[in-house]
Amino acid sequence: MVAGQRLAPLLMSENHLIAKDLHLVLKSPPPWQLSGEGIILIFKFKKNWVENFGLLPKHLEGKFKGGLGYVMLVNYEKTPVGPYHELLIIPGKFRKIKKQAITKIYVDTEVSTQNGRNNWGIPKETLPFTWEKEQGKDIIQIKSGDQVIFSTEITHSGLSFPVTTSLLPISLCQIWNKVKYYTKPSGYGWGKLAKIKSLDLDPTFFPDIRDIKPLLAMKISPFHIKFPEPTYGDEPF
């Protein structure tokens, strides 16, 4: 590749690019409109478990305030940066302001990782996923190298019912590179009751939820969600 070809993307007025490890990643600023399908597991995590096994970042240690926790597995079919898969955990609320935080999250495209970090301070990491769909069943696996670090089989059935973020509100405060990002996503979809048939994971990569029964499990398909532009502030911890 000649120098002119290598520099050509940088000269395109409509594309902004992030350079990382010699890769050029398309920058897509908020707001984002996303759609797809996903699985939500709702928990009430105990403080002791969150503090000892939640793989919290340093700035959240000792600051857990309770509330509902979520584990989400998402198959984003339409986003501003293309389709991708995602696994995340929101243990609950933190700090005096009692905002939620995504404390561990994996996606399978680098463009999602870089934009998630830069747009909303979400600490995404990139690992390959496989997501197989059968009638009434989702089989999901995540690897790090040759090692399977998360695998689950989840079934769903029954009548569909409406689900919105007014019923399951999310109000995030994320810290990335010493910047606080406050974001309140909004969305809606159609849910069915779900059940975990099998679950295995490596607790060095993701909090060990294997022995914790969720309060509720749902398969949401389809869903539509908006991630707005965040606000920034210095509210006290």
Residue 52 lies in a domain: yes
Residue 235 lies in a domain: no
Residue 20 lies in a domain: no
Q: Backbone phi, then psi, for 18, in 5-degree steps?
A: -105, 130
Q: Nearest 5 degrees, angle CA 190-CA 191-CA 196?
A: 155
Q: C-alpha dihedral over 208, 214, 218, 223, to 10 degrees?
A: -60
Answer yes or no: is pLDDT of 21 > 70.
no
Question: pLDDT tens digits for 87-105?
Answer: 999 999 999 999 999 999 9
Question: pLDDT tens digits for 158-168?
Answer: 999 999 999 99
For position 138, which CATH number holds? 2.40.400.10
pLDDT band at 106 (very low <50, low <70, confident <90, very high): very high
- Say what the pLDDT of residue 24 is: 65
Residue 25 lies in a domain: no
Residue 9 lies in a domain: no
Length of the chain: 237
- Say what the pLDDT of residue 26 is: 87
Answer yes or no: is pLDDT of 55 > 70.
yes
What's the domain count of the chain?
Answer: 1
Average pLDDT over residues 192-214: 99
Q: How far is CA 193 from CA 91, 131, 138, 170, 221, in A?
A: 21, 19, 13, 20, 11
Residue 157 lies in a domain: yes
Please indicate, yes or no, whether the overall pTM of this predicted structure exceeds 0.85: yes
Residue 183 lies in a domain: yes
What number of other Cβ atoms are within 10 A of residue 203's Cβ?
12
- Structural domain including 100 reads 33-227
Residue 21 lies in a domain: no
